[in-house]
Chains A and B, each alone.
Chain A
């Protein structure tokens, strides 16, 4: 059974204080690992898909990396508008997506 564990559950950063979010996964035959951002009262917003170990993708202050067991979402010099819940999900076989519980990020000005 596919499993996704995200840590920490919550993270509080000062503006400009870089950090990383972790997503550990167990899956039989990874087809893709996805990162989403979810703001309160809204649906998840797609950020990245990673397909194989060693792959990296960047978007503005965010950079996602992937190994065979985990993925990291690095946030460089975050701003208050980066405050959100970040969700990690994996896709294997016929199951569309299996999600972790998310990391709730707060960036304080």
Chain B
């Protein structure tokens, strides 16, 4: 199965600043997915990132707040912009595995103060 390296693993940020999260996959994949997991909540899909085209955002998420880059088939970044305490969450990237499931990165635990 695919192996995803996600970083940073955690960060504490000041409100109003931005944080960029990186995901590196050990194989080429067409689509990468970004999720948010708020405390005590389920995983919510933020957007789907395709190489060579703009990301597709889910309802409630906008590009200005969560810009995504996908420069090649093994790498993607998610930026959380102009952060507020409500953005404190775990952010996860994911890919569809060549097997049956979806593989997830280890997550980025973001705390905004």
Contacts and interface: CB of A to CB of B under 8 A. Distances in A.
Interface of A: 4, 32, 34, 36, 41-46, 49, 87, 89, 95-102
B106 A42 contact: yes
A96 B43 contact: no
Contacts of A36: 101, 104
Contacts of A96: 31, 33, 45, 48, 94, 96, 102
B93 to A, nearest CB: 9
Contacts, number: 56
Which applies to chain A's interface (DSSP): helix, strand, loop or mixed?
strand
Given A41-B109, A43-B104, A44-B104, A87 B96 contact: no
| The 10 residue pairs across chains A and B that have the minimum distance between CB atoms | A43-B104, A46-B101, A49-B100, A99-B42, A99-B43, A101-B42, A43-B107, A43-B106, A44-B104, A43-B105
A43 B102 contact: no
Nearest to A45: B104
Interface in B40-77: 40-45, 48
A101 B48 contact: no
A101 to B, nearest CB: 4
